[in-house]
Amino acid sequence: MSNFVFVLDTDKRPLDPVHPGTARHLLNAGKAAVFRRYPFAIILKQARPDVPVQDLELKLDPGSKTTGIAIKQSNKIIFGAELQHRGQQIKDALLSRRQSRRSRRNRQTRYRKARFLNRTRPIGWLAPSLQHRVDTILIWVNRLRKLAPIGSIAQELVRFDLQLMQNPEISGVEYQQGELQGYEVREFLLEKWGRQCAYCDAKNIPLEVEHIQPRSRGGSDRVSNLTLACHECNQTKGNQDVRDFLSGKPELLNRLLKQAKSPLKDAAAVNSTRGALFNALKATGLPVKTGTGGQTKFNRTRLEIPKSHWLDAACVGPVDSLEVLSSKPLLIVAKGHGTRKMCGTNRFGFPIRHKSRVQIHKGFQTGDIVKATVMAGQKIGSYMGRVLCRASGSFDIVTQSGRVAGINHKYCKPIHKKDGYAYAL
């Protein structure tokens, strides 16, 4: 079953979400109208007397690339979503802009005094690719508050101990005792190695922590020397050198050694934004609860809930019992609102085309989600996705199966206005 449907009264005040069947009945009876497509919300046409509303809990599992979102009503999960960030795209765009500007300023142009020492950064400054994660999550928290009676927020305030990852031999009571001992490092390895055996790619089986270079041959317990293996591969390898064990599989050996030395930038990104996000959530005025990553995994394992970002969010904080009523989360992908370039440039930074200031063509704007039903021509069919507009009226539609070019604007019907995100179920 899909997510529950958000309901607003005639004054746009949020009411308790309803079952999709109930929302369908209200729409067919003419008692409600579609207010928003993503996430799906309806608005009542007739005023109702004051109806008691139950406060809901919004749960967040912030991640470097994807953030899980869940809404809990009592002990039931009625809404789930996964928000995919574009931090890496922002980093690449800023790098490209910097390279283009540096190249242009060095091509026989006048000398301009350096300004890198004239600028100061405020306290708590984050890089744009990191600040984007905080801002995007906060945007969706505020959007959901307008659609549902959110009474509290639960955030997974995970802190990856990078020192522990690099040197698990650190001693201390906090590393030796506790019911959740070992969950943080193991969770990092599961994410790093894709939750599969590094040697045979087996999935959905118990995995064991494996030393790539055996300790008997000088290997350490550093996280760069740890991987995951199934029981059979772990026993077969024993204390062999990994190069001897994979002597007949050179491609797998190279991939294994390369991935083992991958940077910890994802964990560092979560560490850098955790405090800023927590403070931003507190500024909303709602009570904010926190939970650790180990506690989240402990709850998920105890309740036998499958692994995914939005279900991880459902398990954040203290959880006694949980009933998941939604099986299809809303997939949200941050796309941005375009650029402010006055002209298009090639890879060397030289202008090659002019960009029009007119953004709306035939009533549509690039980024709108439309549905096109073509009745004649070579492209007969029905298409739905984000539209790329042109002044000529010949549009492109990006669907889940690919881009369809040359769709006349007369066949297009607006579904959801551009808001900087793409959606899928």
Q: From CA 239, how far away is CA 289, in angstroms rounded?
A: 45
Highest mean pLDDT among 99-108, 180-189, 304-313: 304-313
pLDDT tens for residues 192-221?
788 889 888 888 888 888 888 887 777 777
Q: From CA 204, how far away is CA 307, in angstroms rounded?
A: 11
Q: Which DSSP symbol is given to 209?
A: E
Q: From CA 322, how far away is CA 227, in angstroms rounded?
A: 32
List the beta bridge partners of residue 68.
Answer: 61, 82
Given the candidates 1.10.940, 3.40.50, 1.25.40, 1.10.30, the CATH classification of the domain at 162-260 is 1.10.30
Strand runs (DSSP E) across 133-199, as ranges? 150-156
Q: Report whether pLDDT(178) > 50.
A: no
288: left (phi over 0), alpha (psi -120 to 50) or beta: beta
Please check whether residue 380 is in contact with residue 374, taking contact to mean a CB–CB distance below 8 angstroms.
Answer: yes
Can you count the helices (H) and strands (E) in the chain?
Answer: 12, 23
Highest mean pLDDT among 153-162, 173-182, 245-254, 402-411: 402-411
The CATH T-level fold of domain 56-86+126-160+265-334 is Nucleotidyltransferase; domain 5 (3.30.420)
Q: From CA 399, how far away is CA 177, in angstroms rounded?
A: 51
**Residues in the chain, how many?**
425
Please check whether residue 156 is in contact with residue 274, taking contact to mean a CB–CB distance below 8 angstroms.
Answer: no
What CATH architecture is 356-418? Answer: Roll (2.30)
Q: How far is CA 277 from CA 139, 145, 264, in A?
A: 11, 17, 20
Three-state DSSP at 17 gives strand
Tokens of 161: 């101990």
For the chain, the structural domain boundaries read 5-44, 56-86+126-160+265-334, 162-260, 356-418
pLDDT tens for residues 52-62?
899 999 999 99
> What's the pTM?
0.77
Q: From CA 133, how far away is CA 308, in angstroms rounded?
A: 19
354-360 long-range contacts (CB < 8 A, ≥24 apart) are 356/391, 358/391, 359/389, 360/389
Domains 56-86+126-160+265-334 and 162-260 equal at CATH topology level: no
Predicted pLDDT of residue 261 = 67
Give CA torsion, residues 146, 89, 268, 72, to 10 deg: 20
The least confident of 79-93, 147-161, 247-261 is 247-261
pLDDT tens for residues 125-144?
999 999 999 999 999 999 99
